[in-house]
Structure 1
Amino acid sequence: MLLVYFAGYLFLSRLFLSEYVYPHFGQSGYLLVSALIDAVMLVLFVFVADDWLKEQWKNFCQRKLHSAAGCVFYLFLLFCASALFAVLIAAPLHLGQAENQINNETMMQLDRIGFLFDAVLIAPFAEEIIFRGCIFNPIAEKKGIWTGALISGIIFGTMHIIASMTSGNWLNLLYLIDYGSSGIILAYAFSRTDSIWTSIIIHACFNLIGVSALL
């Protein structure tokens, strides 16, 4: 069931959107259908994994101070990693903005409320459950935390550079390092606090701050 969920998210919410929805319905249609797909698949997963999510929330609440400190610390690490990428790679190579970021800015201009809802509420919840819950967690249990973090981070990063791949902007693929490192940090945050809710909150806060900069 989890593999079906992941495959559906991977192909429907990225490849299907970029190859069919965007060419036929434009940015506004892309945003609407993307949010709808995320919401539907999120509801399906919550229905299937209700007990697991409750257990994760219990873990988060049992160690409130530890969980809160983890949220602050790993959120700070996310910004540090992005800043290092910008200084050491993006600026020297004149990469410009990532295609994913350009698309986000365009969609923000078209529908601020809809984009804010998707970026801050739906996407963090759905992506953390998929990449940290469905991918990282099983791999980490069998192969170790760092192997799981690396594999899930690469997949997470790849998902965010599909726009660059389909546009043919190959130099922009270096943003895999930026997005991939974010995925690794989020996976480690989940592992260290033993709760998926930690990475969900961090992801949501990171997106909220990023979206606020576009207002």
Structure 2
Amino acid sequence: MKTQFKCPMASSERIAGLLYLGVHIFALPWLLTYFYTNVLRHMNVVMTGPDLNLVYYIIGFVFVLIFMFRFLRTSFSDLLDNPLRALQSVVLGYLFNYVAVSAVFFLLSFLLKNVVNPNSQEIINQTKLDPNVIIVVAVLLVPIVEETLFRGALFGTLRSKSRLLAYVVSVALFSVYHLWQYFLGGFDWMLLLYLLQYIPAAIALCWCYERSGSIWAPILLHAAINFISIKVTIG
């Protein structure tokens, strides 16, 4: 029998999560850049890209712990209630993402002479600059912050209204989230193609949450995807 999806997030947590999601995507990157350029630099404070990324996700991490801790705690109890199902969801989600990402890359290699995703290239550059910081950010902070916001608040809220709407909106926004700043430098059709690279992970993470019933399953899946990607980059 198929279990009905239940999101244990309280209405106050949903509102806080959805409001901060907009800040996290659009406002916070600009605010941090402005503060560093116009304040910290004049104080002779030097920060690298990895440093700014660390601050960016620490702010999100603190927000999630303060305003959504009850949801994380409840969802962890749900994980412990059925750990095998959560583990199966993580493994199957990773396999789907691996196959789908490989297929997308194969497709893009036919359409483009060089598949150079600007966001992926920036992550590679930052990883080579300071791999330890990027590992902490990508494997610990990013999964908790992004899964709580994108899957917990956004997908969980919409899922109670429409399963299709929940997938479409959360997958689309998660994909745009990784590339929207590059569109500000001028519209480029290739950026639309690069959006395709984020769709498999977005689908896998939503499905993992839906199937497992615990936000900690997609957190673990997200951490695994990022960790393996970074190890490949470093290697």
Is this a same-fold pair by TM over 0.5?
yes
- The gaps in structure 1 that reach 5 residues or longer are none
Q: 1:106 to 1:13 in 2, by over 3 A?
A: farther
Residue aligning to 1:148: 166
- Once the two structures are TM-superposed, the CA of residue 138 in structure 1 deviates from its matched residue by 0.4
Q: 1:214 to 1:162 in 2, by over 3 A?
A: same
Cα contact 2:94–2:225 (8 A) shared by 1: yes
Percent of aligned pairs with the same residue? 21
Amino acid at match of 1:162: W
CA RMSD, Structure 1 to Structure 2 (Å): 2.5
- The gaps in structure 2 that reach 5 residues or longer are 1-15
- Once the two structures are TM-superposed, the CA of residue 95 in structure 1 deviates from its matched residue by 4.5
Query: 1:15-36: per-residue Cα shift (whole Å, max 9, x none)?
Result: 4567886899999533212211
Q: 1:132 to 1:68 in 2, by over 3 A?
A: same
1:57 aligns with 2:79: no
Cα contact 2:29–2:56 (8 A) shared by 1: no
Greater relative contact order (Cα < 8 A, sep 6+): 2
Residue aligning to 1:3: 18
Residue aligning to 2:7: none
Compare 34-43 and 24-33 and name the one that shifted more. 24-33
Amino acid at match of 1:9: H
Compare 122-131 and 175-184 and name the one that shifted more. 175-184
1:92 aligns with 2:92: no
- Once the two structures are TM-superposed, the CA of residue 164 in structure 1 deviates from its matched residue by 3.2
Q: 1:21 to 1:102 in 2, by over 3 A?
A: farther
Amino acid at match of 1:195: S
Residue aligning to 1:160: 178
Q: 1:212 to 1:169 in 2, by over 3 A?
A: farther
Matches within 5 A, 1:103-182: 103-144=122-163, 146-168=164-186, 170=188, 171-182=190-201
Measured in 2, the distance between the counterparts of 1:194 and 1:134 equals 14
Amino acid at match of 1:155: L
Which has a greater percent of helix? 1
Query: 1:38-97: per-residue Cα shift (whole Å, max 9, x none)?
Result: 112211222212221111111111111111111111011111111010112344323522
Q: What TM-score do you get using the length of structure 2 for normalisation?
A: 0.82
Cα contact 2:209–2:217 (8 A) shared by 1: yes
From 61, 85, 104, the equivalent of 1:66 is: 85
Cα contact 2:108–2:115 (8 A) shared by 1: no
Q: 1:149 to 1:15 in 2, by over 3 A?
A: farther
Paired residues in the alignment total 214
Bigger CA radius of gyration: 2
Aligned-partner SS, 1:42:
helix
Cα contact 1:9–1:38 (8 A) shared by 2: no
Q: 1:85 to 1:143 in 2, by over 3 A?
A: same
Q: 1:125 to 1:138 in 2, by over 3 A?
A: same
- Once the two structures are TM-superposed, the CA of residue 141 in structure 1 deviates from its matched residue by 0.6
Residue aligning to 2:60: 41
Q: 1:86 to 1:18 in 2, by over 3 A?
A: farther
